[in-house]
Amino acid sequence: MCGVGKAADNIPAPPPGVQIRMSFVGISNAQARALSALVQGAGIILGPNGCRWTSSRYNKSVGKIKRSTAQALLRAGLIKAEAEYGKSIVRYGVSGAGVAAFAEIPVEAFAQESKLKVTAQDILRAVRKHYAPEGWVMAMEVQIPGLVQEVRRTDAFLVSPYRDEAIAIEVKVFRQDWQHELADPDKLRSSRRLAHMTYVAAPDGVVKPEELPSGVGLLMYLPLDRIISQSVRADYHEPELPTWNLVGRIAAGTLRAAKEL
């Protein structure tokens, strides 16, 4: 058994009192943490200038991992090459052996992960970090015209100066919140009317993919690593043109996000 002391491989350590207890022979605590992220869609890019985590969507950097840990996973056959960029930069994902090794980790080793306190702001910070490398600018708590109610609020609204697109995101921290959303679909429908793509962002287990309304995607928040992994891609469609009033609200939401996140 081994507990978590300081953060391994620059992956944020759990809050005090939360541990990952390992009993699978041959896998270190750092490697187990890495496998946890890999089986949930993350990747590792290994090159001459360093080693880093990448998200599943845009292959962008979302943090660092020690080269020694990545090489240990490679030697053990727990990761495999998925793509090559030039002669010496390779993206690795989890292998079949890695999935099997992760499955051997006792469930109780991660039992306390559910006790991590996740807030809507935690998820919004991860969303902003997920989209920032592609130039997206995020506004939070944007009021939009509803289809049933006069005004609804979108948790995050992303626009880009480099493309004529918008993304709306609803954040759900608890299962009960999501069930309430399903009972009142006006909010998501209103968001879809004004954005090219609409997502729900939530911790694993809060939203079941089969529950998503048609066209809505799912972004999974990984609390230990504080990153976003795309689980279900949203459908792309042409929304209504925004009014100047909405543009002003998005601008105000951008300032709010810069101040509060």
Summarised one tens digit per residue, pLDDT across range 226-238 is 888 888 999 999 9
Residue 3 lies in a domain: no
The last residue of a domain, from among 65, 91, 115: 115
Question: In the Cβ-directed half-sphere of 211, how many Cα atoms lie within 13 Å?
Answer: 14
- pTM for this structure? 0.59
Residue 108 lies in a domain: yes
| Residues 242 and 145 sit within 8 Å (Cβ to Cβ) | no
Candidates 139, 219, 218, 153; CA nearest to 184 is 153
Tokens representing 208 are 């079941």
What's the CA angle centered on 12, arms 10 and 13, to 5 degrees?
Answer: 115
Asked if residue 218 and residue 146 are part of one domain, the reply reads yes
pLDDT for residue 62:
55
Asked if residue 107 and residue 182 are part of one domain, the reply reads no
The Cα diameter of the chain in Å comes to: 61
Assign 127 to helix, strand or coil: helix
Asked if residue 103 and residue 14 are part of one domain, the reply reads yes
Q: Which CA distances in Å does 110 have to 19, 21, 29, 230?
A: 8, 7, 12, 22
pLDDT for residue 112:
44
- How confident is residue 22, by pLDDT bands cut at 50, 70 and 90? very low
pLDDT for residue 42:
81
- How confident is residue 254, by pLDDT bands cut at 50, 70 and 90? very high
The last residue of a domain, from among 57, 87, 115: 115
86-100, 203-217, 231-245, range with the lowest pLDDT: 86-100
Asked if residue 137 and residue 108 are part of one domain, the reply reads no
Q: What is the pLDDT of residues 121-170, one digit of tens each?
A: 999 999 999 999 889 999 999 988 765 556 788 999 999 888 889 999 99
pLDDT for residue 111:
43
Size of the chain, expressed as the number of residues it contains: 261
**Secondary structure (H, E, C), 158-201:** EECCCCCCEEEEEECCCHHHHHHHHHCCHHHHHHHHHCCEEEEE
Asked if residue 167 and residue 102 are part of one domain, the reply reads no
pLDDT for residue 40:
75
Residue 1 lies in a domain: no
- Residue 217 maps to which CATH number? 3.40.1350
- How confident is residue 11, by pLDDT bands cut at 50, 70 and 90? very low
Asked if residue 253 and residue 164 are part of one domain, the reply reads yes
Asked if residue 176 and residue 215 are part of one domain, the reply reads yes
Asked if residue 128 and residue 72 are part of one domain, the reply reads no
Asked if residue 132 and residue 237 are part of one domain, the reply reads yes
Q: What is the average pLDDT across 209-220? A: 92
30-39, 89-98, 145-154, 188-197, range with the lowest pLDDT: 145-154
Q: How many domains does the chain have?
A: 2
Residue 17 lies in a domain: yes
Residue 106 lies in a domain: yes
**AA identity, residue 136:** W
Measure CA 76 to chain center.
27
The last residue of a domain, from among 81, 115, 149: 115
| Residues 127 and 170 sit within 8 Å (Cβ to Cβ) | no
Residue 141 lies in a domain: yes
**Secondary structure (H, E, C), 15-72:** CCCCCCCCCCCCCCHHHHHHHHHHHCCCEEEEECCEEEEECCCCCCEEEECCHHHHHH
Which residues are registered as beta bridge partners of 158? 138, 167
Q: What is the pLDDT of residues 99-117, one digit of tens each?
A: 888 877 765 455 444 456 7
User: Which residues span the domain enclosing 57?
Assistant: 8-115
Residue 24 lies in a domain: yes
- How confident is residue 64, by pLDDT bands cut at 50, 70 and 90? confident
Asked if residue 236 and residue 139 are part of one domain, the reply reads yes
pLDDT for residue 126:
93
Candidates 83, 81, 82, 65; CA nearest to 28 is 65
